[in-house]
Structure 1
């Protein structure tokens, strides 16, 4: 029972964090949905492109998350802070490159996705502003990863809720010119993202450099070791490969659907947005698994680490079962909340029903992957994602949509197959992993600041 309470204390705030992000997407789609199917399509295409940008650099926050969790467990937080310094330096370089790219690439990326002239005209500026906001997102995800690694999942939750509320309020106020503000239409939602991410960055920096300094000396510079830079680069590359394989798969998936027309794009975005609610418990418990397993590995308690991950998976699947049932039963009324256009929501319902059956596999795959990240089994995860996406998902999606002309049904059949296989393979790896030989990553003798 004590273990269950510990897991829930880590998971519930993380679920709330992911929930706030998901509800933001839902409310934003409802706000822009009244602007027409083209606006929904632009938001959907941009979300996929932003997901790929995030995936390209996600390895940094993923590496900080599990390495610092191990440092916390082994009471070597000076080393953890050194790793955080390296991550912040990486993030600074990346944010500068993203800012430069925001002035050059938006139109070409949308064109590459097969966007029609209407979407290109309206969506280029929207995507440009979203890219500018991503500069802050890079730092925010790294700060969140550090907070979670030391067991503080509440701070990311609070900041995420503030972020989400800011996005929604500004999207409505600026999107429709309310309360004397200018009517910016779809671009108002993009400016909402930029302001919200900037506010979140200020809050994260304050917590890290001011609030946590007393306990963890986060303002003290730790001499950076070349080995730690190499470790961060290698691990970040592996985890970015994992995320990028998944995101590129979704990019090609969305590109195939984009060519089916505006209604198909809008229905697909609604279905994905609703399905993202299923990721809330799985991502929350997956995050808890990474933290708990990583901390136990740091303490040298390998069997306790394995047990932590298993119990976390059981709890997560319980939540996922309830979601899958609700998703199937209430697909129609929920889909109608997004748009009054019958052609759009009726198409979305068939996709939601199809995906509701594979949510348990998807959830199990995410939570098991969280545990494997906690123990540092990143090579297996990256290779698996690479093979499944480029050998199965991407070829099948192209084949079923472009050769056999099965449209969205073909694309979503490929997506469901990918999720089932990922769940089964990650579960098999977790159960057969040699836990007795597990150890912390990149150990060097560093003075501890945690008693």
Structure 2
């Protein structure tokens, strides 16, 4: 019996998508391209929203710097952290040839997604204002931040359901449909957010709340479509509610990766929040400038996300089939690809910061602060891309402890170092140097964790 199972695994898993046998780099790029297109939609949203908000005035632009880390935390936890846990569990089940288990895992994943969204709504509606006050929000800036936040997070369940169900599909190797769905949601968000935010075509100008309405509507429609698609049986897995029973082992299989992975985006956002709090003392212009700079840092995550998420089912299926050597080759190939892509963008904005900054402001003080950030942090974005991508690959192997500890180290460097520099009344550029050092350590330590952690059963 033990001799027959390994021989039967590739025969059962390979016809689904060939991820166990196809050449690594071409397959990785083929899977990453749809994700890249979807992430382009996310980038367009960020550019469009910041452009809209910049037209509304300086206070809204500073307010979005307060809200944006929490908005990205929602996305990162649902798509990259818990979503990675979902894709990992499903791909490992498929790699082992157990499609029934994969289908049951998909239903449990949907429950986790709904609960995660409701929790985010509850926390942000109750404590969002207090968070923004702790970050230095005052007066008009605080009011604008709260108005945007209340609308955005009232629909957090839609964001979580879209990203969770998209992760179910990605776990089967289907990258195209999730990408098309997210891209369609992005288009709706850009159009509706612009029209309602700026009051175009005779519509009332709702300001920040109108911009947030675009995201609320886009993700709500996308969630309904993905639910219909999976229930109708059109996907490689289908949600069969009639035969569903709660199984603790299924939740454990997802959460042992997803719950631990949630610590990493939380630490990433805490890193940004610590700097936001410190730089708030330098004035609105510096805060807005850093908001523009850190927004690009967040937007580079999708580049690493596109490659990293593509590696999750490849690594997961290889682990499920017992081919650990292939799983590691996939991880290193993905990490190198991500580092090159993210690093290229970093060097570009380090040399020509106006390419990004001029999209949002012409204020000299804001431009100077954002340019200083890019000059120090841009050249080492490659380490950030390497670390983020290897974190995703580790999810596929269900071994995320080391990458999460690397993220913890980055947080400690920024927190302790930022406190020391602030106490010494250091200029803002020294804080940006600290950001760069923390990125380098994050990338190197994540790579070391992947290299020395034992993968496999």
Same fold (TM over 0.5): yes
8 Å Cα contact 2:373-2:432 kept in structure 1 = yes
Aligned twin of 2:107: 85
8 Å Cα contact 1:19-1:277 kept in structure 2 = no
What TM-score, normalized to structure 2? 0.88
SS at match of 2:425: coil
**Counterparts of 1:59 and 1:317 in 2: how far apart (Å)?**
20
Q: CA deviation at 1:216?
A: 2.5
The 3 A distance-change label for structure 1 pair 226 and 278 is closer
Q: After superposition, what is the alpha-carbon deviation per residue over 1:76-134, rounded to whole angstroms, capped at 9, x for unaligned? A: 23212222222222333343344444543332222122101111222212111111122
Q: CA deviation at 1:237?
A: 2.5
Aligned twin of 1:306: 328
Aligned twin of 1:3: 24
8 Å Cα contact 2:89-2:253 kept in structure 1 = no
Question: Given the alignment of the two structures, is residue 14 of structure 1 paired with residue 35 of structure 2, yes or no?
Answer: yes
SS at match of 1:105: helix
**Counterparts of 2:37 and 2:426 in 1: how far apart (Å)?**
37
Aligned twin of 1:414: 434
Aligned twin of 1:444: none
Q: 1:267 aligns with which of 289, 293, 308?
A: 289
Aligned twin of 1:398: 419
Q: CA deviation at 1:26?
A: 1.2
Q: CA deviation at 1:155?
A: 1.4
The 3 A distance-change label for structure 1 pair 59 and 4 is closer
8 Å Cα contact 1:49-1:251 kept in structure 2 = no
**Counterparts of 2:36 and 2:55 in 1: how far apart (Å)?**
29
Q: 1:368 aligns with which of 374, 382, 390?
A: 390
Tell me the matched-pair count.
434
8 Å Cα contact 1:81-1:222 kept in structure 2 = no
Question: Given the alignment of the two structures, is residue 331 of structure 1 paired with residue 353 of structure 2, yes or no?
Answer: yes
Question: Given the alignment of the two structures, is residue 379 of structure 1 paired with residue 379 of structure 2, yes or no?
Answer: no
Q: 1:358 aligns with which of 376, 380, 383?
A: 380
Q: In structure 1, list runs of 5 or more residues that go unmatched.
A: 440-451
SS at match of 1:337: coil
What TM-score, normalized to structure 1? 0.89
Aligned twin of 2:47: 26
Q: 1:153 aligns with which of 175, 179, 183?
A: 175
**Counterparts of 1:201 and 1:258 in 2: how far apart (Å)?**
36
Question: Given the alignment of the two structures, is residue 41 of structure 1 paired with residue 68 of structure 2, yes or no?
Answer: no
**Counterparts of 1:344 and 1:314 in 2: how far apart (Å)?**
34
Q: 2:368 aligns with which of 335, 346, 360?
A: 346
Comparing both chains, which one has the higher relative contact order based on Cα–Cα distances under 8 Å and sequence gaps of 6 or more?
1
**Most deviating of 171-180 and 1-10:** 1-10
Aligned twin of 1:122: 144
Q: In structure 2, list runs of 5 or more residues that go unmatched.
A: 1-21
**Counterparts of 2:123 and 2:381 in 1: how far apart (Å)?**
36
Aligned-residue RMSD, C-alpha: 2.2
